[in-house]
Structure 1
Amino acid sequence: MAPNQNLAAVLYGPNDLRLEERPIEQPAFDEVLLEVDTCGICGTDVHFLKEGGFGAQMLIKPIVLGHESSGIVRKLGSKVTHLKVGDRVAIEPAAGCRTCDLCKVGKYNVCLNGKHCPTQKHDGNCSNYFTHYADCCFKLPDNVTMEEGAMLEPLAVAIYAGRKVDIRLGNKVLIFGAGPIGLMCLVAAKAMGATRTVVLDLARVQHRLDLAKKLGATGVIAINKDDKEDDLVSKIQKILGGPADRVLECTGSQPGMRISIRSTRNAGKICLVGLGNDDVSLPMVDAVSREIDITTAMRYNHDFPAAVEIVASGYVNLKPLISHHFDLKDVHEAFRVASQSEGNKIMVHLIPRDTNNKNKFAN
């Protein structure tokens, strides 16, 4: 890479991803210029790549993908005092507008006018350089790697979902989906006190279910296309020793939501985390008559500090979730692997791997 060159992974349309040069922006008074070190590939990035977006967030112009990132502060805005040039930071890619009613009551994560990366109006940060609000950059302790810093974003998603359903010590937790977010939810649920956990996903991603078991799930269930709901509910309750107290549904699929409702105890709590089908048919009479609390979670809400703390303290270990490493020049292959579910967390290194890790043997 030439000095000060800013290469970015830019999506022009479904399956039209290009690596091209973009101008390097200068930080505003409350921003910093970051040299991005590591960027993980998320399911929403894959939705953009394969389908041109998801829900209301359909592509209206070329955008830079990526939002699970860590980087190095290279330039400070005039009013930034809590960071310095050279700091290693994790990047919270969702910021509110700071002035609307939602932001004023603390719901910046669903602000209609915020800077959420990437969306149809805002670029992501799979690029060599990226300007961002300084208060959305969290300094990494020396013992946290840049890869772990990039994974704080999906971990924050999981922490927020766990908080939404109030996971407590001794809870039995069902997690539907063994993708990166589902596995992060497993890690977060156990950190919050869940003692029995079961993870479900399709049999074709058995490698992810195997990883869930290694991460400490009490049990895993591989779903086949001819499995009956009643049988799956029975298997779940057998592993948990009864109905689930809390459920984190990470697929957005109709079967996942239906089985989640049917597997939850009376007055239990379900959080819908995954983005999937637009319209679903659910057993709502069952849910209402048993007073099951169904909530949703979008992104996170001031959960990065907790994510930094539990990783830095060694309370959780995210390193086993990483399955692949790619250089930026190989970003097309990185997205191919991610879109085919061949691994788990796919890392794109925009700076040679380990350049900015304090412990070169940390990974």
Structure 2
Amino acid sequence: MSSKNPSFVLKSAKDLAFEERPVPKIQNPTDVLIRVNVTGICGSDVHYWQHGRIGNFILEAPMVLGHESAGTIVETGPKVASLKPNDRVALEPGISCRCCPFCKAGKYNLCVDMKFAATPPCDGTLAKYYVLAEDFCVKLPESVSLDEGALVEPLAVGVHVVRQADVKPGNSVVVFGAGPVGLLCCSVAKAFGATKVIAVDIIDSRLEFAGRYAATGTFNATHSKDPNVNAAEIIKRFDLVFGADIAIDASGATPSINTCVHVLRKGGTFVQAGMGVAETSFPILKLCAKEITLKGSFRYGPGDYRLAVELLASGMVTVKDLITGRVKFEDAEKAFEQVRNGQGIKTLIDGPLD
């Protein structure tokens, strides 16, 4: 094993650099050391790069970026039972405290002391080596590649959203936002048995891809600036009769959020997954009158990562089509530029070579 750990570091807003860091040590008997083989770029990585903060999470010291990764086990702690060297794994990049009321209630994604990769002050996975707890590594079956393993992270986000929505066979689902998470929500909803999955966006190329990928229908929201008008048109065009069973917003845009409420049938479910502005206007009277169930969705919780891997292994969901670019580790900044400029859907960065 190499004694060097090349890492891609955000030193301050808009200041990226490569650094040689020490190879991390296994501290706990149930930890494993992983050789990171591939990492995807997320919008949050780019946001930290450009602004140095997201909400209350502020970059105050250099931080390794990246949290969508897959790799190979190099070393295991003495109490690791389920993994061994050379096993390929998807990395679930957030370690909860396991002690707070939320962890004990099975909602560890809401942990009050979550240590999440590439969220200040925690280093991320864009390095040669990374240490992670055994139970936050999901072994990849032979049929699932390392590239697909890196995209288990955004897929698990989609799984969590769709589970929050409680999608059932025969449901109609309208998904606002045809970026990576919205697309994966479409695919998972379909895998869960939804018979109508409508993707909504304002960019035709995204909608064309959504139609090929997982959506049974698409709608360009530039049809009208009025959420009521757009909702009525969606209901009419896709024969939703009384409205959709479920609406998911993966955009964070106020017009989309409002249209979600209007497109739902009475008693429908609305899940907010996209993070936009901190506060927004909202048709609260319509929500009440329809007795709509409103839920938030944050990252992923128990079982979401494993289910994501199972969906890939079974062929019920594919992520290969989302991979539209890749770069070598030494060209990592190019990947960030591509994502910032809206090029492609998912760009992967190969791990450092020996």
After superposition, the C-alpha distances for 1:203-228 in whole angstroms (9 at most, x for unaligned) are 2xx33222101113122223339633
1:331 equivalent in structure 2:
332
For 1:224, what is the secondary structure of its paired residue? helix
- Equivalent in the alignment of 2:345: 344
Matched-pair contact (CA < 8 Å) for 2:179–2:206 = yes
AA aligned opposite 1:75: E
Is 1:173 aligned to residue 169 of structure 2? no
Q: What's the offset of the Cα at 1:64? A: 1.2
Cα deviation 1:211-261 (Å, max 9, x = unaligned): 101113122223339633233212321343121111111111211211111
2-side partners of 1:16 and 1:296: how far apart?
A: 33
The runs of at least 4 aligned residues of structure 1 exceeding 6 Å deviation read none
Q: TM-score, normalised by structure 1?
A: 0.92
Question: Which consecutive residues of structure 2, in runs of 5 or more, have no partner in the other structure?
Answer: none
Q: Distance in 1 between matches of 2:58 and 2:238?
A: 39
Structure 2 match to 1:265: 265
User: Partners in 2 of 1:161 and 1:112 — Cα distance?
Assistant: 21
> What RMSD in Å do the two structures reach over aligned CA positions?
1.7
Which residue matches 1:17? 16
> What does residue 322 of structure 1 align with?
323
Measure the CA separation in 2 of the matches of 1:145 and 1:81.
23
Q: In the alignment, what sits opposite 2:141? A: 141
- The structure-2 alpha-carbon separation of the partners of 1:5 and 1:207, relative to structure 1 and needing over 3 Å to count, comes to farther
**TM-score when scaled to structure 2?**
0.95
Higher mean C-alpha deviation, range 315-324 or range 230-239: 230-239
Equivalent position SS for 2:169: coil
Paired with 1:123 and 1:236, the residues of 2 have a C-alpha distance of 43
Q: Give the one of 218, 225, 235 matched to 1:220.
A: 218
Q: Against the structure 1 CA distance between its residues 244 and 277, is the aligned structure 2 distance closer, same or farther, given a 3 Å change threshold?
A: same
Query: What one-letter code is carried by the residue in structure 2 that aligns with 1:312?
Result: A
Match in the other structure for 1:51: 51
Structure-1 separation of matches of 2:177 and 2:132: 32
Separation (CA, whole Å) in 1 of partners of 2:3 and 2:268: 53
For 2:230, the equivalent position in structure 1 comes to: 232
CA distance in 2, matches of 1:224, 1:60: 40
**What amino acid sits opposite 2:197 in the alignment?**
T
Deviations 1:156-200 (A, max 9, x none): 111111111100111110111111111111111100111111111
Counterpart mapping for 1:280-291 below 5 A: 280-291=280-291
User: In 2, Cα distance between the equivalents of 1:256 and 1:52?
Assistant: 27
State how 1:27-176 maps to structure 2 within 5 Å: 27-28=26-27, 29-176=29-176
Find the counterpart in structure 2 of residue 309 from structure 1.
310
Q: After alignment, is 14-23 or 84-93 more displaced? A: 14-23
Q: Give 1:300's aligned amino acid.
A: Y
Equivalent pair of 1:198/1:239 in contact (CA under 8 Å): no
**Number of equivalenced pairs:** 350
Work out the CA distance in 2 between the residues paired with 1:272 and 1:60.
30
Any conservation in 2 of the 1:92–1:136 contact (CA below 8 Å)? Answer: yes
Q: Which runs of 5+ in 1 are unaligned?
A: 356-363
Partners of 1:229 and 1:138 in 2: CA distance = 41
Once the two structures are TM-superposed, the CA of residue 114 in structure 1 deviates from its matched residue by 2.2
- What's the secondary structure of 1:294's corresponding residue? strand
Indicate the residue corresponding to 1:359 in structure 2: none
3-state SS of 1:32 partner:
strand
